[in-house]
Amino acid sequence: MTYLLAAAGLTVLRKMGVENPARLVAARLDKHAERCPPPSEVPELHVAEVLGRRLGERVRLELAATDTPESVVAARLVLLCARASGVAEPLGFYTVKKFAPGDYQGVGEFLELAVRKLRAAGGGYVSITSGFNLEAVYLALAGWLAGARVVYVDEGGNLFEVPHVEICGLPKELGRFEQFIKISEILYVVPKVFLGLTVGVSLLSNAARKGLIDASLAVLSPEDPRQGVFNSLSPDPFVKFAVEEPERCCAELNTVVKAARRWDRLFSGDVKAVFYSSDTAQGKFVASVLERSLCRVLRARQCVAGVKVAEGLGRDFYGGLLKLAHLVKTDVYEARREGRLPYIVATGGYKPESTFAVIAAYIAGALGVFYIHESFNDVVMLPMVPLQLREELRRFAAGQATEAELVKALGVDVVHLREVGVLEGDSISRLLAELL
């Protein structure tokens, strides 16, 4: 059977109506099996089901959990439901201490354990469908380090494989992330900062609770005809909500405000921000509200915010994500040329979006990532991981390697490389060439 590693998310707790997970940490859970939702409603099981169908066999599922009652109970319930439904062979789960609160040693341990598990299994697959966004980022990194295949399954059951990224210059001991210098501890002058922010729809969900919008409009598919509502909707009430309650209105401003409070010197000088919007009316509306609100909630001496739409994002999985990666990479490079300290705020948006934005920012030399996990409601800054794209891609793009050599080096056929957007015809795709 094929090995699959996934992060334990909290969706299963909501689906099974678990309100007090702490009481179930050490309890027997067998009696809860009858309450298991369909596999398609639990991200970890949905991936296992779709991947197993693609491979023609059940997968062996292992989960990475954080050291919290919620995560531990969620992992146990997912494995219980995997066994009850038969969609996967449950191998168990392991916990990583201190990762969720943002301890650098915890980040290193998370990476190191995931790499060890994948290498022991001979590679296999890594899912970036479940868990919180930065777990997906670091699981993708672990997958690439271990030679595993990184996959994502959307709500419609479509499986996508994420193109491989080569990791270079990583410290020999992954667990020693505390050696990274904390920027906030060495800044003695007021810096210029760049913030790249991925955008989700939490603003609309929270606005619906305040009666500013119908709840049915908070989450829409890109093809939903109700997307047109946002073309004529006034942003003013939403801007007022965001400015008056920035920590409650949405994931993006909650992260920035808390980061500005914790690392005040970073945010007290010259701040330039870009919100990366999906190519939907809903995404553009949310981004425009955040653009108008950000500088009003920061106390920076100078502040400017803008919106960039990633063409195809939300409609074309590979093309949209590559476009997002290109925008982030270009903006981080430009920020560095301007003498700015570049950071990514990855709390908003869906998991592949955050993953691609973070990876592109790391390739371009961003200093770190600001993030808030829903269980802790506290901001963390995760350190830079030095990355580069596969050298074989560079050589092929420069005409120094043949298509056959590229296929042999990457271990996949030409048809697959075209399907995932690495190749366009007989050449490297335009967006990927720009990243190179």
In 3D space, the residue among 106, 162, 85, 107 whose CA is nearest the CA of residue 129 turns out to be: 162
pLDDT of residue 187: 36
Q: How confident is the model at residue 175 (pLDDT cuts 50, 70, 90)?
A: very low
- Tell me the backbone φ, ψ of residue 399, rounded to 5 degrees: 80, 15
In 3D space, the residue among 160, 164, 118, 162 whose CA is nearest the CA of residue 409 turns out to be: 164
C-alpha distance from residue 74 to each of 51, 60, 77, 94 (Å): 21, 18, 5, 12
pLDDT at 288 over 70: yes
* Secondary structure class of 283 (helix, strand, coil): helix
- What's the rounded Cα separation, in Å, for the pair 36 and 81? 6
| Burial (Cβ within 10 Å: 0-12, 13-18, ≥19) of residue 69 | middle
Q: How confident is the model at residue 219 (pLDDT cuts 50, 70, 90)?
A: confident
The DSSP string of 224-263 is: -GGGGHHHH--SHHHHHHHHH-HHHH-HHHHHHHHHHHHT
Please tell me if the domain spanning 2-179 has the same topology as the one spanning 184-388. yes
Which residue in this structure is represented by tokens 């490389």? 417
Q: How confident is the model at residue 166 (pLDDT cuts 50, 70, 90)?
A: low
Please say whether the structural domain 2-179 has been given the CATH code 3.30.830.10: no
Alpha carbon 226 to chain centroid distance?
A: 27
Q: Which helix (H) or strand (E) holds 332?
A: helix 317-337
pLDDT at 5 over 90: yes
- Beta-strand relationship, 270-277 and 192-198: parallel
pLDDT of residue 405: 81
- What's the rounded Cα separation, in Å, for the pair 430 and 428? 6
Residue-wise pLDDT tens digits, 21-79:
888 888 888 888 999 999 999 999 999 999 999 999 999 999 999 888 999 999 999 99
C-alpha distance from residue 375 to each of 10, 78, 197, 372, 378 (Å): 9, 18, 21, 9, 9
| Burial (Cβ within 10 Å: 0-12, 13-18, ≥19) of residue 28 | exposed
pLDDT at 119 over 70: yes
What integer is the mean pLDDT of 251-270?
Answer: 89
Residue-wise pLDDT tens digits, 320-355:
888 998 999 999 999 998 889 999 998 898 888 888
- Would you kindly state where each structural domain of the chain is located, as residue ranges? 2-179, 184-388, 391-435
- Please tell me the pTM assigned to this model: 0.68
- The fold of 184-388 is Rossmann fold (3.40.50)
CA torsion sign for 370, 187, 193, 328 is: negative
